[in-house]
Structure formats: structure tokens, C-alpha cells
Structure 1
Amino acid sequence: MSELTVDVQMACEAPGMPGLPELQAWAQAAWLGEESSEVTLRIVDSDESQGLNNQYRGKDKPTNVLSFPFEAPAGITVTLAGDLVICAPVVKQEAREQHKSMHAHWAHMVVHGMLHLQGYDHINDDDAEAMEALEIQLLAQLGFGNPYDAEEMVKDS
């Protein structure tokens, strides 16, 4: 099994956020690469998330998770997966609105973001179906219910 180093940057207060060991375990579980790598997980407030979402995606609102895969310059080989930016207030609000436990929703956001770093996407229906199936499988291995099934998520509360 390849190892994943997770560097966590706390750019804001995030009450209810899981601890570093859990964040690392979730990211490691979602690392499907054959080689060891490294990811930076930055926890941000709504303003920073909105600024990044606007700058890189043209959407002027905060979002739950942004993924920035590392693209090495030609001829450079570095074992960096990239950066994940998770907006703590959005995760908290979504968990409340979707009647999910904070713990389960944080796990989902880490897994979801890690899959994006590895090229998975949900732009079209086929890709979305494949990505969601993998998320469900990985989260089940971590002891969480289906994040797309409200009844399953209540069990995680």
C-alpha cells in the first residue's frame, strides 16, 4: 500500500472538525495511487473559499471542497497529489441542512476531494455515477453510510 502524507493547514477556526488522525485516515483510504504521495488539506472560512471558487471556477460563492491537482513542470518528478481546500462553515451548514452528522460529512468531503485530485469528476452522468459509487464504497470501508442516501446518513449521526 502506498503512503499518503497529509499536511493540514488551519486558516480558520473549525468547531466540530474531526481531528488530524481522522483526516489523515480518510485521505489515505481515498488515495488510490500506486506510489506514495503528499496532499495539503487547507481548512478555510467562507471568504477564502469564495475567493478561490470565484478565481478558479468563476463561481462567486463559497463551496464545500476545492481540489487543486499538482501539475509538475516538464522534466520534474515530484510526489505531490495536490491541495484540498475545505470550507468549514459550508461543511457545517450542509451537514445541518442534509441531516448528516458533521463527522460523516467531513469524511465525505475529504474522500470526494481526494478522488477529484486523482482525476475523478462528476461533470457528466456516467462520470458522476462512477465517482459516487467509489465514494460510497470507500466511505463504507471507513464505517460510514451512503452520503447520497438520507436514510443511510441518519445512521451515522
Structure 2
Amino acid sequence: MSDEPPSPSGLTEYTRDIDIIHESEAWLAALPEADSLLHETVLMGLRGLEENIEVCVVLADDPLLHDLNRNFRGKDRPTNVLSFPSDDLLPDGMRLLGDVVLSYDSCAREARAQGKTLRDHTRHLTLHGVLHLLGHDHEEAEDAEEMERLEVELLAELGVADPYAEAAGAPAGKGGP
């Protein structure tokens, strides 16, 4: 619990330190508002979490995600998003929740193939990554359904349509990140 006084709404305010690292210039060329978009999306994913949190989002490309996927997951191919959870308590009292790493190449390719905007697909994958940092997964059908429901609900609040609904050229339902 925080020693900070309650806000006027009666809720305690918590610090959210969201670091965005640009490893690929392609992101800003295609999505100039990427930083504010990611910041807002991460905040949505952290809503209701009652502690001071730090999250890092890395905007990268397929070669970096390929290396990370091979080295940490044993999968020798690029992927759209990877999450690296942490539970470190930082010297300033913040809890490092972890890192979310996005590949521009995979995200842009998938958005085109699925008939989605890069903006909406990036929001979905960022939120997906943050939920993984919070301990959600989709290994079991029940967990996958819960994670999908939460994604759809939070994305709707951000003005993003259900990413699992049938899209142009993509099957409905599972098969996402």
C-alpha cells in the first residue's frame, strides 16, 4: 500500500514509469504517434494494479525478435511480440514488471494480412505483452479464453475493435499472438 494521500476520487495514485526504446526507426516512420500510443496502452493494461510500476517497451524489428525468440524460447524464427517478466524491486521503490519487445516487420505484415491498421494491431500486441507481464497466459484453453476476453474488453475502451473477430483474409478466433 502506498503512503501517498488518496486522490480526490478516493483512489490512491501510483507511479507508472513507462520507458520506450527505439531499436528500429521503421516504427516512427510508420507510426509517428507510437510513444503516446504505447504509453496509453500500457497504462490500460496496468489499470487497477496498486503499486508503483516500471515497464519497458522496445520497438524493434524481425532480426532482433528472431534472436530473442531463438535464445529465450528455442524457436528459430521471428515473432510479433515477446514479454520478459521481472519482479525486481528497484532502489527507488518501483517494481520492474518487465519488458515487452515488438517487431515492426511482423506487426506490419500481420496488420496488412489481417486487414487491420498498424495502430490497432500494435495496441493489441502491446496489451497482450503487458498481460503476459502480469502473469496471464494462453497455454490452456480456459486461460486463453480469459486472456482474450480481457484483451477485447480493454481494447474496446481504447477504441480498438475485437482483434479476434473475423478480419479480411484472417480466420476468426484463435491463432493470434
When the two structures are superposed, what TM-score results if normalisation uses the length of structure 1? 0.89
Map of 2:24 onto structure 1: 12
Q: Which residue of the other structure, out of 46, 50, 57, is the alignment partner of 1:31?
A: 46
Alignment match of 2:95 (pick from 75, 79, 82): 79
| Aligned counterparts of 1:85 and 1:151: Cα–Cα separation in 2 | 25
* Contact 2:54–2:94 (8 Å) recurs in 1: no
1:2 Cα deviation from its structure 2 partner: 3.3
**Which segments of 5 or more consecutive residues in structure 1 lack a partner in the other structure?**
153-157
Paired position in structure 2 for 1:142: 158
1:1-157 to 2 correspondences below 5 Å: 2-13=14-25, 14=27, 15-17=29-31, 18-32=33-47, 33-72=49-88, 78-151=94-167
Greater mean deviation of Cα atoms: 99-108 or 30-39 = 30-39
Query: Is the CA contact 1:26–1:111 (under 8 Å) kept in the aligned structure 2?
Result: yes
Compare 38-47 and 17-26 and name the one that shifted more. Answer: 17-26
Displacement of 1:36 in angstroms is 1.9
RMSD: 1.7
**1:78 CA displacement:** 4.6
SS at match of 1:107: helix
Instruction: Give the number of aligned pairs.
Output: 149
CA offset at residue 7 of structure 1? 0.5
Displacement of 1:3? 3.6
CA contact under 8 A between 1:4 and 1:27: conserved in structure 2?
A: no
Q: Which deviations, in whole Å up to 9, do the C-alpha atoms of 1:15-68 show, x marking residues without a partner?
A: 323431111001000114211201110111111100000011111111111000
Instruction: After superposition, give the CA deviation of every residue in 1:105-155 in whole Å (9 maximum; x if it has no partner).
Output: 011011100000000000110000000000000000111110000359xxx
* Identity %, equivalent residues: 37
User: How many angstroms apart in 2 are the aligned matches of 1:20 and 1:37?
Assistant: 18
More contact order relative to length (CA 8 Å, sep ≥ 6): 1
Structure number with greater Rg is: 2
SS at match of 2:46: coil
Does the CA-based 8 Å contact 2:38-2:126 persist in structure 1? yes
